[in-house]
Amino acid sequence: MTTQTTSPTVTTPRRAVPPPIPTHRIVAVELRKMFDTRSGFWLLVSIGVLSVVATVAAIVFAPDSTLTYETFSRALGFPMTLILPMIAILAVTSEWSQRSGLTTFTLVPSRGRVIGAKALAATLVGIVSMLVALTIGAVGNVIGSALAGVDTVWNVGPSYAAQIVLGNLMGMAIGFTLGVTLRSSAAAIVGYFVLSFVLSGILLLLAQVREGFTDLQPWLDWNQSQVVLFEGGTSSAQEWAQLGATTTLWIVVPLVVGLVLLRRSEVK
């Protein structure tokens, strides 16, 4: 007669599933990464430097009769339209140009969450940058009017200031869209200047030589919609509809396509 022995059952404790990384932490990391590289750091520094330069230039070269807050706001608008989109582009393309995408998407496998955090971080930087620039412009308005011996004129109301901020955020959105779609810093930067200057010039030329295209141009030219925002002239329902049309055509649709391609692309 044989005796059978049974070995005791060994149970392995189940490993607890770690909670997902909270969104605010991802946004904080993306904000820090925007300052980590030399290009990103100096672009952010240049916002303050060029704001001061533009303010001083307005004080020195603008006629005394035009020393108003609107003059300083417009002087600050040009460098912001160039720098802020570059910041948005680099915020996205850094994962591919710096070859950190594999680490990023391993720690946070959901690419949508990472891109959303980048978009939120770029928006926060854009809003803070514009507030800093408008504050510098306000100081310049006080100093400039005092030096010229004229009354300080505050002719930029909250609505106008909000449109200026919105115009710059649109520029950042174009840069962000190009970064998501192309995923190359050089290609996205070139693409931004092509859309801003080359394509806008072509549409303007078509409007001048083709009478039937004149009414269609405002619905296609996003640069014109942005200029109207900077001038504080977007007030009618038609102008807001044109802004919505250009935003859909040049931001929403390409961004959706870019996100689909990004989610399927290979990260090395």
Mean pLDDT of all residues belonging to the chain: 84
d(CA 32, CA 38): 12
First to last CA, the chain: 65
List, as one string, the DSSP characters of the chain. ------PPPPPPPPPPPPPPPPHHHHHHHHHHHHHHSHHHHHHHHHHHHHHHHHHHHHHHHS-GGG-BHHHHHHHHHHHHHHHHHHHHHHHHHHHHHTT-HHHHHHHS--HHHHHHHHHHHHHHHHHHHHHHHHHHHHHHHHHHHHHHT---B----HHHHHHHHHHHHHHHHHHHHHHHHH--HHHHHHHHHIIIIIIHHHHHHHHHH-HHHHTTGGGT-HHHHHHHHHTT---SHHHHHHHHHHHIIIIIHHHHHHHHHHHHSPP-
In angstroms, rounded to a whole number, what is the distance separating the alpha carbons of residues 219 and 67?
Answer: 34
Tell whether the model's pLDDT for residue 265 goes beyond 80: no
Residues for the chain: how many in total? 268
On the question of pLDDT at 231 being above 80, the answer is no
Phi (first) and psi of residue 68, to 5 degrees: -125, 170
pLDDT tens sequence across 25-64: 989 988 888 887 777 788 888 888 888 999 999 888 888 8
Rounded Cα distance between 256 and 245, Å, is 16
Answer yes or no: is pLDDT of 4 > 60. no
For range 170-176, the mean pLDDT: 92
Q: What is the pLDDT of residue 13?
A: 66
> What's the pLDDT at 112?
86
Torsion of CA 7, 12, 13, 19, to 10 degrees: -170
Provide the pLDDT for residue 210. 81
pLDDT tens digit string along 53-73? 999 998 888 888 888 888 888
pLDDT, position 6: 56
- Measure CA 137 to chain center: 21
pLDDT value of residue 248: 92
- Per-residue pLDDT, 5: 56
Whether pLDDT at 215 is above 80: yes
pLDDT at 177: 94
Q: Report the pLDDT averaged over residues 144-154.
A: 88
How far from 118 is each of 90, 91, 260, CA to CA, in Å? 10, 6, 16
177 or 81, higher pLDDT: 177
- The structure's pTM equals 0.85
Residue 153 backbone dihedrals phi, psi, to 5 degrees:
-110, 125
174 band by pLDDT with thresholds 50, 70 and 90: very high
Q: What is the pLDDT of residue 106?
A: 78
Among 67-76, 90-99, 153-162, 255-264, the range scoring the smallest mean pLDDT is 90-99
pLDDT digits (tens, 9 = 90+) for 73-104: 888 888 888 889 999 998 888 887 767 777 77
For residue 133 the two structure tokens come to 């620039």
Beta-carbon contacts of 115 under 8 Å, excluding residues fewer than 6 positions away, are: 92, 180, 259, 262
